[in-house]
Amino acid sequence: MQVTIDGPAGVGKTSVGRKVARRFSLLFIQSGQLYRALAYGRINDLDLESLSLRSRGKTEPELSIGGEKVREELTTEVIGEKASKLAKEEGIRNLVNEIIVDFAGDRDVLVEGRDIGTEVLTEAEVKIYLTASAEERARRRKKQMKTDRTLEEIEAGIKKRDNRDQTRKLAPLEPAEDAIIIDTTSLSEREVVERVSGIITDHEIREK
Ligand code: DC
């Protein structure tokens, strides 16, 4: 089974996606991490074509670039900004999409990102689009990160990134026509996990 979760920065795609993936034994892939790894590669002058996603059996696949495994180094705001800028380039998008499509193959996966349901896994059985107000997303980010930045500063950064992701010409952030949209502004993480899980279970029952 293939499940996609798309939505803007800070909406909870990763925390929700990881929990749902575990519950349904799906391999969890964060497509944003591939853009982030390419941003890291560009900054460190690595060969971008060396980006690879390798299976580690039942756990999350491993990402590497230039022969280096990358993970923690990708979580900074600087890398996030750079990734959002790089994501406007066609060659970059094609590279990421190809890696994800190849990896997904006939595996059971849950892939989260911005355009997975609209452009990458267009035949996915379940497509979810999460949204929340920018203010609420800033609040969640502030809680998540150890940062001196004020809530207002974080919200401004989120709005800037939303605007870039939504207005770019290639694969702008938007829900797929067949996506189920969940506004999570007033929902807890657990409630969102339950809703998404319910949608997947309903799909499984219908398919039986
Ligand atoms: O989800 P994230 O914050 O790690 O993503 C970083 C950037 O990568 C995001 O601002 C836009 C880009 N991105 C994208 O264009 N398409 C995706 N499917 C995932 C991320």
Does residue 202 belong to any structural domain of this protein? Answer: no
* Residue 58 pLDDT class (50, 70, 90 cuts): confident
Q: Residue 80 Cα, ligand 1 centroid: separation in angstroms?
A: 8
User: What is the model's pLDDT at position 156?
Assistant: 95
Does residue 150 belong to any structural domain of this protein? Answer: yes
132-164 confidence digits (pLDDT tens): 999 999 999 888 877 788 999 999 999 998 999
pTM over 0.85: yes
Measured by CA distance, the residue closest to atom 4 of ligand 1 is 32
Q: Could you tell me if the CB of 136 is within 6 A of ligand 1?
A: no
Would you give the distance in Å from CA 74 to the centre of its chain?
13
Q: At what angle do helices 77-86 and 151-167 cross, to 10 degrees?
A: 20
- Quote the domain boundaries for residue 119: 2-197
Does residue 28 belong to any structural domain of this protein? Answer: yes
Does residue 207 belong to any structural domain of this protein? Answer: no
The amino acid present at 171, given as its one-letter code, is: A
- The chain-wide mean pLDDT, for the chain, equals 95
% residues pLDDT > 90 (the chain): 85
Indicate if the pLDDT at residue 208 is higher than 90: no
- The CATH number that applies at residue 37 is 3.40.50.300
Does residue 208 belong to any structural domain of this protein? Answer: no
Instruction: Return the best residue to mutate from 34, 42, 53, 84 for the ligand 1 pocket (most ligand atoms within 8 A of CB).
Output: 84
Instruction: Return the best residue to mutate from 16, 18, 31, 92 for the ligand 1 pocket (most ligand atoms within 8 A of CB).
Output: 31
67-101 confidence digits (pLDDT tens): 999 999 998 889 988 999 999 999 999 999 999 99
Q: Could you tell me if the CB of 31 is within 6 A of ligand 1?
A: yes
Q: Residue 200 Cα, ligand 1 centroid: separation in angstroms?
A: 24
Distance CA 173, CA 192 (A): 20
Residues 6+ apart with CB under 8 A from 81: 161
**What residues are paired with 180 via a beta bridge?**
128
Residues 6+ apart with CB under 8 A from 177: none
Does residue 206 belong to any structural domain of this protein? Answer: no
Specify the ligand 1 atom closest to the Cα of 31. Answer: 19
Does residue 203 belong to any structural domain of this protein? Answer: no
Q: Residue 56 Cα, ligand 1 centroid: separation in angstroms?
A: 23
Q: Could you tell me if the CB of 137 is within 6 A of ligand 1?
A: no
2-33 confidence digits (pLDDT tens): 999 999 989 999 999 999 999 999 999 999 99
**What residues are paired with 194 via a beta bridge?**
none
Q: Could you tell me if the CB of 161 is within 6 A of ligand 1?
A: yes
Does residue 205 belong to any structural domain of this protein? Answer: no
Q: And the tokens for 139?
A: 């609040």
Q: How many domains does the chain have?
A: 1
